[in-house]
Amino acid sequence: MGSIPMVYFVCSRRNAAFFVSFSGGKMYFISDPHFFHKKIREYNNRPVDWQERIIANWNKVISPNETIVCLGDFSVCNYQQFFEVRNKLNGYIFLIRGNHDRYSRRFYYRNGIYVIPNFSIDDIIFSHRPIFEFKEKINVHGHIHDKYSVNDGKHLCISVEMTGYKPITLEKIKSICKIGE
C-alpha cells in the first residue's frame, strides 16, 4: 500500500470529535461486519455466506488505495482469524471501536487498522452506538443491526444488514440524510 490518507481530528465534547480534514478520494463506511462471530448469523438472520459476501462486496467497492471507516464491531475472533480476514480486505481501514473490538490500539495499528474516535463531517456525527445528545446533527451509527431503528429522522443505522452487506459512500449517506440538497 502507499501512504496513509491524511485524516485529522480535533477533540470536542465527550462523545464526539470533529473532522477537520481528509485527503485521499472517496470515503466509504461500513458497520458491524462481526467477522468470525459464531452466533451473529443466528442473532441477525444473516445468510449462510454472510462473511464471504461482506468480503466480496468490500473488495468490489474498495480499492487498495481507498479509505473505509468501520463504525465498530469489526471482528469477534482470535489473532489467526483476524489476520486471515484483514489480509483479504482492500483499503485503509479506520475503526471507531464497537463493543466487540477488544484488541489494543497498538495491535490494530500494527495490522493496518487505525483506531479513531467518533467524528463529524458536515452535519453528520459518526459513531458505533446511537448518540442522542447532538440534536442539531444527524447520527450515522451501527450497533443495533436490523433489530429496530431509531425512527426520529436524526439517526441512520448502517449495520451491514441495512446496507446489503456492502460499504456505503459518504455521498450516499448524505443523499439518504438529505444533506447538501
Please tell me the pTM assigned to this model. Answer: 0.86
Q: Is residue 1 part of a domain?
A: no
For 115, the grid coordinates are 483506531
Is there a domain that residue 169 lies in? yes
Please write the tens of the pLDDT for every residue from 5-38.
555 544 444 444 444 345 556 889 999 999 999 8
Helix (H) or strand (E) holding 54: helix 50-61
Question: 180 Cβ partners below 8 Å, 6+ apart?
Answer: 122, 174
Q: Taking the mean position of all CA atoms in its chain, how far away is CA 168?
A: 9
- Name the nearest CA neighbour of 98 among 45, 144, 54: 144
Q: How many domains does the chain have?
A: 1
CATH number at residue 94: 3.60.21.10
Look over the chain and give the mean of its residue pLDDT values, rounded to a whole number. Answer: 84
What is the C-alpha separation between 60 and 42, in angstroms, rounded? 26
Q: Are strands 27-30 and 17-23 parallel, antiparallel or unpaired?
A: unpaired
H or E segment to which residue 83 belongs: helix 79-88
Where does the pLDDT of residue 45 fall: very low under 50, low under 70, confident under 90, or very high at 90 and above?
A: confident
Give, for 82, the enclosing helix (H) or strand (E). Answer: helix 79-88
Chain CA centroid to CA 149, Å: 17
Q: Which domain holds residue 47?
A: 6-176
